[in-house]
A and B are shown apart, each in its own frame.
Chain A
Amino acid sequence: MFDVVVKNAALAYDERIIFKDLNLTLAGGEWTCLLGGSGVGKTSLLRLIAGLSTGKGLETSGSVLCQDGFSLKGRIAWMAQQDLLLPWFSVIENITLGERLRNSFFSRRKVSAQELDRARHILEQVGLSDKATELPQNLSGGQRQRAALARTLMENRPLVLMDEPFGALDAVTRLNLQDLACDLLANRTVLLITHDPLEALRLGHHIYHLQGEPATLTEAIMPPDSPPRSLENKELMSLQGELLERLRNEEERP
């Protein structure tokens, strides 16, 4: 699996510099977690990598390269905090959305039988087999985020960008989904943004803390053992305390 290298990334919004000269390497096949308070520019960085940084008053520079020399185009799957399920499509239609969107406008063919089989298999993996034909409105918050995870898996991309995907869930559902995501997205390069230190510590191979204005990255923290780490891990708990303390200081400073 190839590394993804972010080089000299800079982003300014209305002449306010969010970050500049930012370098980050996402290790191939591993999870990188990005911690930071709100408004520090985590999401901006993620959008920059995803090539979504366009808009009024937005200035970006820098490069995002794949170590294997190919372009990043078409190699990214995106998972946001909101599940982004389309209310007019059933769960399985939502999961196969990518295929639908890549078909031409006039094609009668919707989704191939092979893809549908794959979609059903993935639904089984996330535990939503019996909800395939339901509309998203009839699902619980956890089920909706599972569906969103299934859609991300369906895209089958080497790089997965996640923007606080479990942020809006209750504690138990969140832990379950973290385990599930960790299991199903193993061996993919993942960049996970979160403001929950515990989430970062459970899932990340490398954990960075984005802080300051303009924002800079701290040294990587590399927790022992392999993810998903158990909550009984003593070292995890003390690291969590340390990180929480750091995040708190940062909030209080201004």
Chain B
Amino acid sequence: MKAFKPLLVVLFLLLVWEGIVVMFSMPDYILPGPKAVFISMYDNASLLWEHTLVTMTEMLLGLILGVVFGILLAMVLVYFVALRPWLLPLLLVTQAIPVFALAPILMLWFGYGLASKVVMTILVIFFPVATCCYDGLRHTHQGWLDMAKTMGGNRFAILRHVRWPAALPALASGLRVAVVVAPIGAVVGEWVGSSAGLGYLMLQANARLWVDQMFAALTVLAFCSVSLYFITDLALKKLIPWQPAT
């Protein structure tokens, strides 16, 4: 039953969508019905697949690198206390400037290919990862640390066996947020300048008023994002069984 609930929600949304199209007799170039979109998806399956692969590659590479950078930054913040007052404002500045504003500059620096989108995704992701991981590492249960200290543990072993596992549930929340916002980085990057990807496909279809194809690309993107979230969530629950139930 639990697995069916999301499906029911999707079904309900499709019904509402179809209802609006029929009730207000929407023309196809404003809002095509779900049927038209699915037909377009079927007709353009290979095209969609090709561009999906590009966007997914950007997202996954951005995610992996963003998570690695985020964790590294969190470690540096925890262990090099003297660097904190310098690094924290820097971290905030990278988030205070909207990615959208940075996109054209990143295009200029990293070109129209994969690299600029990966960098965009990293920029979007690494903040939630870094802050959550940093919080997790900082808030290790004082009792555990006291015990480890009386045991005469060395700080790297304490990091490995106590602080790091204790921080994983917090890092997991960061990862969940990261997975959800990753498509923003990739798609915005594609909008600003690219020759492939779902975002690119949407822009092309938009210019030609192929609204059904736009919606087809959007649907695929939504499906990929949601799947990525559920896979991540499932994996995190399996790998970190000691996190509090959500």
A interface residue numbers (CB < 8 A to B): 47, 50-52, 73-74, 76-78, 80, 82, 84, 86-89, 97-98, 100-105, 135, 137, 155, 161
Contact = CB atoms under 8 A, between A and B. Distances in A.
A204 to B, nearest CB: 22
Contacts of B158: 101
B238 interface: no
Interface in B121-158: 141, 143-144, 146-154, 156-158
Nearest to B161: A100
A12 B200 CA distance: 65
Most A CB within 10 A of own CB, among B156, B157, B162:
B157
A137 B150 contact: no
Contact of B151 (A52, A89, A98): A98
Given A78-B146, A84-B144, A88-B242, A105 B160 contact: yes
B34 interface: no
Contacts of B165: 86, 88
18 contacts: A51-B150, A52-B146, A80-B143, A82-B143, A84-B141, A84-B144, A86-B162, A86-B165, A87-B242, A88-B242, A97-B151, A98-B153, A101-B148, A101-B158, A105-B156, A105-B157, A137-B242, A155-B151
A102 B141 CA distance: 20
B161 A80 contact: no
A155 B148 CA distance: 11
B154 A104 contact: yes
Most B CB within 10 A of own CB, among A78, A82, A137:
A78
A101 B149 CA distance: 9
Contacts of A88: 165, 242
Contacts of B152: 73-74, 98, 101-102
A244 B246 CA distance: 44
Nearest to B156: A105
Contacts of B146: 47, 50, 52, 78, 80
Contact of A101 (B141, B154, B166): B154
B102 to A, nearest CB: 38
Contacts of B147: 78, 80, 84
A89 B93 CA distance: 39
Given A101-B148, A103-B157, 13 more contacts: A52-B146, A80-B143, A80-B147, A84-B143, A86-B144, A97-B148, A100-B157, A101-B151, A102-B151, A102-B152, A105-B157, A105-B160, A155-B151
Interface residues of B, number: 22
Q: Can you list the 10 inter-chain pairs with the closest CB atoms, starting with the nearest?
A: A101-B153, A105-B156, A87-B242, A98-B151, A78-B150, A88-B165, A101-B157, A84-B143, A52-B146, A88-B242
A86 B161 contact: yes
B19 to A, nearest CB: 48
Nearest to A81: B143
Contacts of B160: 105
B161 A97 contact: yes
B137 to A, nearest CB: 15
A13 to B, nearest CB: 15
Contacts of A50: 146, 150
B150 A104 contact: no
A102 B157 contact: yes
Contacts of B141: 84
Contacts of B153: 98, 101-102
Interface string B157-192: 111111001100000000000000000000000000
Contacts of B157: 100-105
A155 B161 CA distance: 17
Contacts of B242: 87-88, 135, 137
A98 B152 CA distance: 8
Contacts of A104: 154, 156-157
A102 B161 contact: no
A164 B29 CA distance: 73
Contacts of A102: 151-154, 157
B144 to A, nearest CB: 6
B154 A52 contact: no
Nearest to B144: A84
Nearest to B157: A101
B138 to A, nearest CB: 14
A82 B142 CA distance: 11
A211 B68 CA distance: 53
Contacts of B154: 101-102, 104-105
Contacts of A97: 148, 151, 161
A52 B144 CA distance: 12
Contacts of A76: 150
